[in-house]
Structure 1
Amino acid sequence: MMLPTHALVGLAVATPVAVVVPDLATPVLAGALLGGVFPDFDVVATHRRTLHYPTGYMLASIPAVALALVVGTPGIVAVASLLVAAAVHCRMDRYGGSHEFRPWERKSDRAVYDHVKGRWLRAKRWTRYDGAPEDLLVASVAGGVALLALSGSFRTITAITLGVAVVYTAFRRRLSDLAGMMVGRFRAATELLRIGCGRR
């Protein structure tokens, strides 16, 4: 699923806690927002493997949530919220499309790597690919929950993230074509540079 969906689902999961315990709203929402997007920082490494731990985050979140319930300091609450949102992110990736560059072509069934099981989990394709209309539907429902219940800066963040989700969905396939063209030109320029340096 697309990054805005992960961010909005993270916020939606944390929203009930923020409403019931308003004193902890900022750490729980900030932790959930960061946890919702954190696994995708591995896009610069091995995407859906380097920072994706579908079992690991879940197991780590159990004692973290228990500690947050007992101690309840903002820092511990933020960490617990981050781990829960990261676990949800990795599980959600399993229900979307594969992690390939153009997932609608279905050349791969790899959804997310499970380090505990030591293998790639298969994509279930409940949402066909990141940025598909059904992905936007999930983002809209999650964003709607946050928009209705939250106020202030987190409501603004939710509205902006929803806007990004709409734009990304509208241009998802074109962006893939554009990125592919840019990668091709970069490779051609690199090859020309290599050939030119070799002649010296």
Structure 2
Amino acid sequence: MMATTHVFTGLAVVAPIAYVLPEFAVALAVGAILGGLVPDFDLVFAHRRTLHFPVAGLAVAVPAVTVAAVFPSAITLFLAAFAGTAWLHAASDSIGGGPEMDPWNHRSDRAVYDHVRGRWLRPRHWIRYDGAPEDAALAVALATPALFVFDGWLAAVVVVGVAVSLGYALLRRRLVAWTPDWLE
């Protein structure tokens, strides 16, 4: 899935909380945005292995959410949104294709690495590849709650994210041909 889809997933999860507790809306949104993006910082290392924790991440997310529920503050809600969204990002990567540049060819049986079991989880291809039409549709659907709850610069970030998602989806399959060989 696209990084923006992961971000919108986190924003959709925290939107109801931000609606009920608007004083924490920024902390929740920033935590969700960063949690949706940070796992993909491993693109320069072993992608979907170095910073993706589809099983172990739950051991961080559950306590963070529990602490935030018992002691709600800007920092605890930020950390809960970050940890929860980072875990959702890693866990949901297994429903898509592999991490290769052309996952529609199904050359890889690796979606995301499970550090607990020491093995790769297989791609399920429910979302065929990042930037697939169904990925773009999911991104738009998940962005919608955020547009109703967040305003100002946060709403602008969501609108820009939707535009980036749609543009990427339109160009995704062409990007492989445009990518230098050393990046593959």
Q: TM-score range by the shorter chain?
A: over 0.9
CA distance in 2, matches of 1:73, 1:14: 14
SS at match of 2:80: helix
**TM-score, length of structure 2 as denominator length:** 0.96
Over alpha carbons, which structure has the higher Rg? 1
How far does the alpha carbon of each residue in 1:70-106 deviate from its partner, in whole angstroms, 9 at most, with x for none? 2212112111110000111111101011111210111
Distance in 2 between residues matched to 1:130 and 1:28, nearest whole Å = 25
Q: Distance in 2 between matches of 1:79 and 1:148?
A: 23
RMSD (Å) for aligned C-alpha atoms: 1.4
Report the residue type matching 2:93 in the other structure: D
Q: Could you tell me which amino acid in structure 1 is paired with residue 181 of structure 2? A: V
Q: Distance in 2 between matches of 1:81 and 1:28?
A: 6
- How far apart in 2 are the matches of 1:173 and 1:141? 22
Other structure's SS at 2:72 match? coil
Number of the residue aligned with 1:25: 25
Structure 1: runs of 5 or more not aligned: 187-200
3-state secondary structure, aligned to 1:110: coil
Structure 1 CA distance, aligned partners of 2:71 and 2:149? 25
Is the partner of 2:111 in helix, strand or coil? Answer: strand
Tell me the equivalent position of 2:170.
170
Report what 1:61 is aligned to: 61
Residue deviations 1:24-77, cap 9 Å, x none?
111111101100111000000000000000112111111111111122121121
Aligned-partner Cα distance in 1 for 2:148–2:25: 15
Shift of 1:156: 0.7
Where does residue 198 of structure 1 map in the other structure?
A: none
Q: Distance in 2 between matches of 1:92 and 1:132?
A: 15
1:38-117 aligned at under 5 Å gives the runs 38-117=38-117
Deviation track 1:115-138 (CA, whole Å, cap 9, x = no partner) reads 001100000100100000000011
Distance (whole Å) between structure 2 residues aligned to residue 69 and residue 8 of structure 1 = 22
Equivalenced residue count is 184
Instruction: State the alpha-carbon separation in 2 of the partners of residues 107 and 168 from structure 1.
Output: 22
1:91-170 superposed matches below 5 A: 91-170=91-170
CA distance in 1, matches of 2:173, 2:129: 10
Segments of 5+ residues of structure 2 without an aligned counterpart are none
Counterpart in the other structure of 1:183: 181
1:13 Cα shift? 1.1
Q: What secondary structure sits across from 1:113 in the alignment?
A: strand
Letter in 2 for 1:24: F
Shift of 1:18: 0.6
Alpha-carbon distance in structure 1 between the residues aligned to 2:83 and 2:131: 24
